[in-house]
Amino acid sequence: MDNNKKRIKIVCPYCGYKMPIAYDPARVVCQGVYIQCKGRKCKKEFEIRI
């Protein structure tokens, strides 16, 4: 990935923790991918929809 492109981090909708996952908004379409929050007290599962 080129360093000049903007990457956006995924944010947990429950606690606001910035996940260690990033995406390029110009190239992505995502639905049906579930991840678990890595926040200390949250740990809830949510779907990534971009």
22 pLDDT band (50/70/90 cuts)? very high
Count of all residues that appear for the chain in the document: 50
Q: 47: exposed, middle or buried (C-beta count within 10 Å: 0-12, 13-18, 19+)?
A: exposed
Q: What is the pTM of this model?
A: 0.78
- The domain in which residue 16 lies consists of 8-48
* Residue 12 is assigned to a structural domain of this protein: yes
| Whether residue 18 has pLDDT greater than 80 | yes
The verdict on residue 22 lying in a domain is: yes
**pLDDT above 80 (res 5):** no
Q: What is the mean pLDDT of residues 16-43?
A: 92
1, part of any domain: no
DSSP the chain: --TTS--EEEE-TTT--EEEEEE-TTT----SEEEE--SSS---EEEE--
pLDDT at 26: 86
Domain assignment present for 31: yes
Asked whether residue 40 is domain-assigned, the answer is yes
How does residue 50 score in pLDDT terms, banded at 50, 70 and 90? Answer: confident
Domain count, the chain: 1
Q: 11 and 18 in contact (C-beta within 8 Å)?
A: yes
